[in-house]
């Protein structure tokens, strides 16, 4: 028996190591929500991330029925969001046939699944072609569950959603975590249970409102909270600074103040930018300059952290034993505003300790920096990673079989 995986407050949950898979039909939820340009997959990281689980199920002689969503078809069949290109890529990566089915429920699908031999793989059509998926409709979940003897959940990226294929099916068949799920939960779990100290979290990105919950709960966990990116603007605003044309959320200034007060009361260090890179607009080729954080010109936007801030943040990060980073320090998509984000990525890469980066844009920034292989764990989860770090229960994990 494995040690299983731990949800936030729950008992340990069983993984695919804990169940006999031979000849079993496995309804396996994966996250193949890959970026596409037309019918071409532009990044197959998520397909690759599922391979350890799919290969293991094959080796163990299971009959594998894979299910995923792709994009936002909003409960209708959208031909450009069919999973055929995904099936093709998966087949290449596995060097094995992947039977692409054109629906996810119904007699034809059931027939095709009944014909699977041990070790064979089928991929259902995009589950979000059915509005019942996101509504976690019980009857739809029952029909999906009819395709498996057991449920395997390897879709960490949707574990924070209670949908039919991510949680609903577990009412009908027993659910086990796949290896990607296990890896994510173990890595993120390390941040929550006795992390090596000092523990430094760096939170950036566009808006405070996206990440208020995670800011508040991280403040309880960490020794130092570093705030950069667009959301730092609202903190600076709350201190009475004029922020010019910068992205700000005046109705979150009070929340920002509360977080700053809480940091003082609990003796935690909270770092904000002391200087900023400003420009008239987040566009290439515009004139940029560096100003003190309290001197953003009225007609300018703060679009990156300045050199003094990069040094301050990097020095703090250098002393850390545990690091969690989510959210770029500036508009890193546009060349003149990516310096701060890249310097923070470098600082984290050089930490002698356990480092975790999560979030779609943050991962893109780490890739851009060339330091991706120097980070202990790159979390594929986005919203799911943040909710887990926030201490929330994830339905896709809670629904799994208890161990012991």
Whether the CB-CB separation of 129 and 161 falls below 8 Å is answered with no
From 35, 106, 242, 360, residue interacting with Mg ion (rule: CB under 5 A): 360
Residue 101 site contact among ligand ADP, Mg ion, none (CB < 5 to 8 Å, cut-off depends on kind) = none
Q: H or E stretch including 5?
A: strand 5-6
Residue 17: count of CB within 10 angstroms of its CB: 15
Contact 203, 226 (CB under 8 A): yes
Find which of ligand ADP, Mg ion, none residue 184 binds, CB within 5 to 8 Å per kind. none
CB under 5 to 8 A by kind: which of ligand ADP, Mg ion, none does 19 bind? none
Q: Which is nearer to ligand ADP, 237 or 331 (CB)?
A: 331
The alpha carbon of residue 196 and the mean position of all alpha carbons in its chain are separated, in whole angstroms, by 23
| 175-177/354-358 β-pairing | unpaired
Task: Please name the helix (run of DSSP H) or strand (run of DSSP E) that holds residue 309, with its range, or none.
Answer: helix 307-318
Stretch that binds ligand ADP, among 161-169, 188-196, 198-206, 291-299 (CB under 6 A): 198-206
Cα 30 from Cα 33, distance rounded (Å): 9
Q: Which does 206 bind (CB under 5 to 8 A by kind): Mg ion, ligand ADP, none?
A: ligand ADP
For every residue of 111-173, DSSP letters joined together read HHHHTPPTT-EEE---GGGSHHHHTT-HHHHHHHHTT-SEEEE--GGGTTS--TTTTGGGGTS
C-alpha triplet 139, 142, 145: angle, nearest 5° = 155
Catalytic residues: 46, 207, 360, 383
Site for ligand ADP in 42-101 (CB under 6 A): none
Site for ligand ADP in 282-321 (CB under 6 A): 302-303
Rg (CA), the chain: 23
- Name which position in 4, 244, 330, 353 contacts ligand ADP (CB under 6 A): 330
CB distance 208 to 223 below 8 Å: no
Asked whether 137 and 114 are in contact (CB, 8 A), the reply is no
Site membership for ligand ADP, residue 339 (CB under 6 A): no
Binding segment for ligand ADP (CB under 6 A), chosen from 103-111, 138-146, 324-332, 343-351, is 324-332
Size of the site for Mg ion (CB under 5 A): 2
The answer to whether 201 and 215 are in contact (CB under 8 A) is no
Smallest distance, ligand ADP to C-beta of residue 302, A = 5
Identify which range of 103-111, 255-263, 336-344, 353-361 contacts Mg ion by CB under 5 A.
Answer: 353-361
Member of 68, 221, 234, 326 binding ligand ADP (CB under 6 A): 326
Q: Which does 366 bind (CB under 5 to 8 A by kind): ligand ADP, Mg ion, none?
A: none
Comparing CB distances to ligand ADP, the nearer of 68 and 309 is: 309
Which conformational region is residue 166 in: left (phi greater than 0), alpha (psi within -120 to 50 degrees), or beta? alpha
**For ligand ADP, which residue of 328, 336, 353, 396 counts as binding (CB under 6 A)?**
328
* Binding to ligand ADP, residues 204-233 (CB under 6 A): 204-206, 210, 229-230
Residue with smaller CB distance to ligand ADP, 346 or 403:
346
CA 162, 33, 325, 204 torsion-angle sign: negative
Helix (H) or strand (E) holding 51: helix 51-59
Q: Under 8 Å CB-to-CB from 300, ≥6 apart: which residues?
A: 244, 245, 246, 278, 279, 280, 291
Site for ligand ADP in 356-375 (CB under 6 A): 359-362
Count the residues of the shown chain that bind ligand ADP, applying the rule CB under 6 A.
19
Distance, in Å, from the CA atom of 290 to the CA atom of 302, rounded to the nearest integer, reads: 9
**21-40 residues near ligand ADP, rule: CB under 6 A:** none
Give the residue, chosen from 327, 339, 381, 396, that forms a contact with ligand ADP under the rule CB under 6 A: 327
Nearest distance, CB of residue 357 and ligand ADP, angstroms: 8
Asked if 125 interacts with Mg ion (CB under 5 A), we say no
Using alpha carbons only, what angle is made at residue 124 by residues 118 and 126, rounded to the nearest 5 degrees? Answer: 155
Least distance between Mg ion and beta carbon 231 (Å) = 12
Judged by CB under 5 A, which stretch of 79-87, 302-310, 354-362, 366-374 contacts Mg ion? 354-362
* Site for Mg ion, rule CB under 5 A: 360-361
The binding site for ligand ADP (CB under 6 A) comprises 204-206, 210, 229-230, 247, 302-303, 326-328, 330-331, 333, 359-362
């Amino acid at each position: 028996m494995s040690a299983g995986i731990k949800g936030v407050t729950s008992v340990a949950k069983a993984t695919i190591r804990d169940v006999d898979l031979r000849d079993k039909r496995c309804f396996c939820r994966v996250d193949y929500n890959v970026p596409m340009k037309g019918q071409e997959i532009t990044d197959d990281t998520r397909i690759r991330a599922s391979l350890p689980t799919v290969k293991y199920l094959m080796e163990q002689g299971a009959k594998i029925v894979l299910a995923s969503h792709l994009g936002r078809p909003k409960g209708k069949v959208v031909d450009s969001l069919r999973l055929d290109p995904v099936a093709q890529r998966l087949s290449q990566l596995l060097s094995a046939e992947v039977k692409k089915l054109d629906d996810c429920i119904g007699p034809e699908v059931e027939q095709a699944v009944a014909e699977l031999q041990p070790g064979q793989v089928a991929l259902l059509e995009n589950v979000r072609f059915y509005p019942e998926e996101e509504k976690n409709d019980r009857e739809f979940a029952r029909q999906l569950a009819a395709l498996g003897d057991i449920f395997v959940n390897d879709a960490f990226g949707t574990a924070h959603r209670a949908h039919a294929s991510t949680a609903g099916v577990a009412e009908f068949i027993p659910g086990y975590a796949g290896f990607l799920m296990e890896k994510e939960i173990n890595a993120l779990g390390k941040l929550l249970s006795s992390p090596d100290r000092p523990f430094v979290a760096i939170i950036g990105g566009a808006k405070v409102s996206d990440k208020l919950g995670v800011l508040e709960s991280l403040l309880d966990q960490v020794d130092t909270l570093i705030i950069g990116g667009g959301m730092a603007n609202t903190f600076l605003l709350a201190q009475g600074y004029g922020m010019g044309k910068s992205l700000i959320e005046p109705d979150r200034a009070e929340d920002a103040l509360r977080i700053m007060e809480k940091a003082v009361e609990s003796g935690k260090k909270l770092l904000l930018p002391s200087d900023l890179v400003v420009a008239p607009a987040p566009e290439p080729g515009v004139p940029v300059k560096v100003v003190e954080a309290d001197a953003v010109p009225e007609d300018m936007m703060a679009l990156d952290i300045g050199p003094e801030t990069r040094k301050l943040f990097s020095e703090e990060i250098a002393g850390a034993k545990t690091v969690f980073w989510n959210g770029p320090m500036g508009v890193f998509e546009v060349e003149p505003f990516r310096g701060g984000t890249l310097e923070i990525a470098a600082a984290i890469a050089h930490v002698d300790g356990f480092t975790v980066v999560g979030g779609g844009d943050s991962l893109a920034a780490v890739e851009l920096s060339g330091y991706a292989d120097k980070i202990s764990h790159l979390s594929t989860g986005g919203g799911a990673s943040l909710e887990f770090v926030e201490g929330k229960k994830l339905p896709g994990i809670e629904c799994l079989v208890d161990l012991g």
